[in-house]
Amino acid sequence: MIATWTAEDAGVLRLPSGRLVRGRGLRRALPEGPVPDFGVYLLGRRPAGVPWEARWLPWRDFWLPSRPAEARAVLAEAWRRAGAERVEIACGGGRGRTGTALACLAVLDGIPAGQAVDFVRRHYDRHAVETPWQKRYVRDFGAPRT
């Protein structure tokens, strides 16, 4: 059985493929309704444990992931799992790092890297992806790897 979010659930972004991913800020209360099956937490320090499967990506506020190769692998795993599971991406406020990660998922979903930030701002949060280097990270995320 597929257990994904609904498009009406708080913070849920629908990618062009139909995958649904929830973004949120950890400083706010857990939204009502179903809990994630898998969470990716983008924080400078290891987060508190949660009762679902989770990955921590070291990522300081307003910056970029400390371990880019690991970030790419974990975001790819989140994108794959979002096809059949409730996946949550979260940072402290739910905008900068979360928006950047959601834009990377949009790139993995087929949105051109140069359009992914605008897509996330239109469909998730108009303030998502807070810094020029986060925007550049998304653009470079879509570049061919050598």
Is residue 95 domain-resident? yes
Is residue 60 domain-resident? yes
Please check the confidence at residue 1 and state whether its pLDDT lies above 60: no
**How does pLDDT run across 96-142, given as a tens digit for each residue?**
999 999 999 999 999 999 999 999 999 999 999 999 999 999 999 87
Distance CA 138, CA 72 (A): 11
Is residue 1 domain-resident? no
pLDDT bracket for residue 144 (50, 70, 90)? low
Q: Using N-to-C axis directions, what is the helix angle for 96-108 and 132-141, rounded to 10°? A: 20
**How does pLDDT run across 8-28, given as a tens digit for each residue?**
888 999 999 999 999 999 999
Is residue 146 domain-resident? no
Is residue 80 domain-resident? yes
Is residue 3 domain-resident? no
Is residue 6 domain-resident? no
Strand order in the sheet with 53-58: 12-14, 20-25, 87-91, 38-43, 53-58
Give the domain range for residue 82: 12-141
Give me the phi and psi of 114, to 5 degrees please. Answer: -70, -10
Is residue 2 domain-resident? no
| Number of domains, the chain | 1
Q: Is 145 helix (H, G, I), strand (E, B) or coil?
A: coil
CATH number of the domain residue 114 falls in: 3.90.190.10
pTM to 2 decimal places: 0.95
